[in-house]
Amino acid sequence: MRYIGKEMSRVDGVAKVTGRAKYAVEYKVNNPAYGYIVQSTVAKGRISKIDTSKAEKLPGVLKILTHQNALKVEEEGRQFRALQSDNVLFCGQPVALVVADTFEQARYAANLVEIEYAKEEPSTDFSATPRVQTRGPAPRGKPAEEFANSPVKIEAEYSIPIEHHNPMEPHGATAFWEGEKLTVFDKSQGVYGVRGHLARSFNIPEGNINVRSLFVGGAFGSSLNVNYYPFLAALAAREVKRPVKLSLTRRQMFTGHGYRPYTAQKVSIGADESGKLRSIIHEASTNTSSYEEFAEGTTRFGRTLYECPNYDSPYYLLKTDLPTPTWMRAPGAVSGAFAIESAIDELAYELKIDPVELRLINYAEKDPETGKPFSSKALRECFTAGAKKFGWEKRKFAPRSMRDGDLFVGWGTAVGTWGAFQAPATAKIRVRNDGSLLVGSGTTDIGPGTYTVCTIIAAEALGIEPKKIEFVLGDTELPKAPSQGGSITTASVGSAVYGAAGEVRRKLLGLVDKKEGSPLFGAAFEDTELVDGMLRLKSDTSKSMRIVDALKEGGVEYVEVEYQSRPSAERQNYTTMAHGAQFVEVKVDESLGIIKATRVVEATACGRIINPLTSHSQEMGGVVWGIGMALHEATEIDHRYGKMMTTNLADYHVPVSADVFSVETDFVEEKDEIVNELGIKGMGELCLVGIPAAIANAVYHATGKRVRDLPITPDKLL
């Protein structure tokens, strides 16, 4: 491999740091107007009166949309749609949209829209909400009975508050109409989803709509489902007959795009004295809205984690008068792992068995759920490599037994898992006789480095230097690819690019293999490769031809292919997952309750690494995310009003640089020929899954205090 597996800087890095990369509301459009959303100040009830007359009289105000004059759309599932009725479903619901010549005019006018509500009592208090069980897998074995019969038992409850993604770029869109044709620049993880949504909303053909999302300043799941605002931007643009830019403020983002739900969990583990697991009952409840069910499979990943014959994983929803939650980096998995991996640590201390040892005692060699083999699983190797790098063998087992001066030192570990998913994806490649090369797919790059890894894969398969390749994405004019979510992009789109390159080679060969005297006359496709700008025989590399010459020879200006890759049928016979062992050191000042995550080692087995540089950066991002989840992040709600209150970056704490110390990553490469031809699994979510539990476990080791409700703020240690 020439390019795959070698470090390469982001191909879009310079554009990003010089400002050349344009984000959704940065596009220069002619004479734009600006929208500002007015939000409900009550959580439940009806709008009894809405008076826009004062606001309308202000200079610059072009239009005010409310439920009284906005276009009504067909019900689309139970998804929230803005300005459809006088019904108030959550606090912060958009109830009017002001469109004006400038953003400040719109914002000012928004203050003058007068609204009265017929208020009802909201219900957002999770502990007071009845839970409704969702459908899930049947219990494995006899979990309750076996738990009762186990000689060693752990039972504990855990909770995680609502958390928000808080990407750097606020959500927003620029929309304009040219006759019947609509163009929308959106901050999106999937341009096709947005296009379909808009087509159904306006009842126009998808072909009339172009959605673009070329650069995304982080999304983490918050732009995976289509949000309500692109429709509002497009509607406003149609009303005022001008391009409209609509952007949420940081505060509005908290109710504008969903969040990680509140999660309450209970884990019951029964084990033998030897540490062998006999039964796990992992139950979880997460909140949803009153109008839509959002479930994230919090208890699902646990089922494949350990060899344990008896397992139950009931999952409940709590209906609240809050907006619907959504996918947030490692949805379900990280919340579930916090409970399961904390409980396993609690069991280790009950049994006085080293936490790594206990996990290896219960190592699942095959999928305990289905009995299928794993396509690959180098978790044991991750433990070996991670423990070595971390220095785990120097750990003293007892809590409060390691010190650094006045500080208590704690070492904790946890496992992370995430599925190695793949979805159908299409890529196209055009090779021109001037040597230029365009590769494209309608995926998005929300930050992991998709531009870069797809360029690397194309370079490898086409035998052309990466810098000669232009990879384009984020445009519904490009062939269809799945939304960027679930850590599937490199496996899906990368495979499509790889496959398309193979088809390019086939076409090129077709131009020259029938010509007598051509060095590739009669060559078999399987015996050819593209290397250094040449098409050549593998068996005799002296038989070669420059790609541009092949095009000339064939008398064509370019060859172009579109190729769809699909997950292989063979995958069905296996369980395909990625794994990681995560080690954390914390130092705790017990007199002040201050915790520092001073060292993190992540050992990860996620198939082939295409670009170690962007992979490392993904892993670091995951660790920082995990630190935030463990120690800082919480969206607090005042249940009396049903309102999220910590809705800005001063009150919603994400880690700052001073909270992050050493983060080391170690990739244990797996050769996995089953997941896909290139052996790619995902990693962008995996890297975070075990971190909150590992930190909580380290805090226990340091202090002897088991904190089961996140975040572990100083007050919880005092």
Partner 1 sequence: MRPFKYQTASTVKDAVSAASNSEGSKFIAGGTNLVDLMKEDVERPAALIDVSRIDLRQVRSEGDSVVIGAMAKNTDTANHPLVRMNFPLLSQAIFAGASAQIRNMATNGGNLMQRTRCVYFYDTSMPCNKREKGSGCAAKEGLNRMHAIFGWSDGCVAVHPSDMCVALAALDAVVSVEGPGGKTRAIPFSEFHRLPGNDPSRDNTLENGDLITSISIPKNKFAGNSYYLKVRDRASYAFALVSVAAALEIAGGKVKDVRIALGGVAHKPWRAKKGRGVSERKSCDK
**Residues annotated as catalytic (active site), given as ranges:** 685
Residue choice 16, 67, 596, 706 for contact with partner 1 (CB under 8 A): 596
* Cβ closest to partner 1, residue 616 vs residue 632: 632
* Least distance between partner 1 and beta carbon 65 (Å): 21
* Least distance between partner 1 and beta carbon 706 (Å): 20
Bridge partners of residue 15, in order along the sequence: none
Whether the upstream peptide bond of residue 519 has omega within 30° of 0, thus cis, is: no
Residue choice 424, 593, 612, 704 for contact with partner 1 (CB under 8 A): 593
* Least distance between partner 1 and beta carbon 217 (Å): 19
Bridge partners of residue 279, in order along the sequence: 270, 310
Element (DSSP H or E) covering residue 458: helix 450-462
Strand order in 114-119's β-sheet?
Answer: 87-88, 45-51, 114-119
Count the helix, strand and coil residues of the chain and give each as a percent rounded to the nearest 5: 30, 25, 45
Residue among 269, 283, 182, 276 nearest 234 (CA): 182
Stretch that binds partner 1, among 65-73, 438-446, 449-457, 591-599 (CB under 8 A): 591-599
* Least distance between partner 1 and beta carbon 389 (Å): 25
* Cβ closest to partner 1, residue 240 vs residue 645: 645
Instruction: Report whether 593 contacts 551 (CB < 8 A).
Output: no
Instruction: Report whether 639 contacts 125 (CB < 8 A).
Output: yes
Q: How far is CA 403 from CA 354, 400, 594, 698, in A?
A: 19, 8, 15, 13
* Least distance between partner 1 and beta carbon 433 (Å): 52
CA atoms of 10 and 691, how far apart (whole Å): 26
* Least distance between partner 1 and beta carbon 336 (Å): 25
Stretch that binds partner 1, among 27-35, 287-295, 606-614, 709-717 (CB under 8 A): 709-717
Element (DSSP H or E) covering residue 313: none
Element (DSSP H or E) covering residue 29: none
Q: How far is CA 587 from CA 401, 410, 594, 595, 633, in A?
A: 12, 6, 8, 6, 19
Q: Does 178 bind partner 1 (CB under 8 A)?
A: no
* Least distance between partner 1 and beta carbon 636 (Å): 5
522 alpha-carbon distance from chain centroid: 48
Site track for partner 1 across 13-52, x = CB under 8 A: ----------------------------x-----------
Instruction: Report whether 415 contacts 399 (CB < 8 A).
Output: no
**Cα R_g (the chain), whole angstroms:** 27
* Cβ closest to partner 1, residue 636 vs residue 669: 636
Stretch that binds partner 1, among 75-83, 343-351, 432-440, 592-600 (CB under 8 A): 592-600
CA atoms of 86 and 47, how far apart (whole Å): 5
CA atoms of 171 and 168, how far apart (whole Å): 9
* Least distance between partner 1 and beta carbon 652 (Å): 10
Residue choice 29, 360, 438, 594 for contact with partner 1 (CB under 8 A): 594
Q: How far apart are the first and last CA of the chain?
A: 55
* Least distance between partner 1 and beta carbon 648 (Å): 8
* Cβ closest to partner 1, residue 256 vs residue 368: 256
* Cβ closest to partner 1, residue 97 vs residue 429: 97
Q: Scan residues 231-270 and list those touching partner 1 (CB under 8 A).
A: none
Strand 244-247 versus strand 263-271 pairing type: unpaired
480, amino acid identity: K
Site track for partner 1 across 97-126, x = CB under 8 A: -------x--xx--x---------------
Q: Does 592 bind partner 1 (CB under 8 A)?
A: yes
Q: Does 692 bind partner 1 (CB under 8 A)?
A: no
* Cβ closest to partner 1, residue 60 vs residue 196: 60
CA atoms of 553 and 535, how far apart (whole Å): 13
Stretch that binds partner 1, among 172-180, 209-217, 451-459, 587-595 (CB under 8 A): 587-595
CA atoms of 452 and 9, how far apart (whole Å): 8
Instruction: Report whether 124 contacts 322 (CB < 8 A).
Output: yes
* Least distance between partner 1 and beta carbon 51 (Å): 17
Element (DSSP H or E) covering residue 494: helix 489-512
Task: Give the residue ranges of DSSP H helices in 211-286.
Answer: 229-240, 250-256
* Cβ closest to partner 1, residue 331 vs residue 628: 628
Name, in order, each residue with C-beta under 8 angstroms of 459's C-beta and a sequence gap of 6 or more: 2, 3, 465, 466, 469
Q: Scan residues 518-577 and list those touching partner 1 (CB under 8 A).
A: none
Instruction: Report whether 497 contacts 427 (CB < 8 A).
Output: yes
* Cβ closest to partner 1, residue 41 vs residue 568: 41
Q: Scan residues 608-667 and list those touching partner 1 (CB under 8 A).
A: 631-632, 636, 638, 640-641, 643, 645-646, 648, 650-651, 653, 655-659
* Cβ closest to partner 1, residue 142 vs residue 251: 251
If binding means CB under 8 A, how many residues of this protein chain bind partner 1? 30
* Cβ closest to partner 1, residue 258 vs residue 628: 628
Stretch that binds partner 1, among 66-74, 344-352, 547-555, 586-594 (CB under 8 A): 586-594
- Binding residues for partner 1, per CB under 8 A? 41, 104, 107-108, 111, 592-594, 596, 631-632, 636, 638, 640-641, 643, 645-646, 648, 650-651, 653, 655-659, 713-715
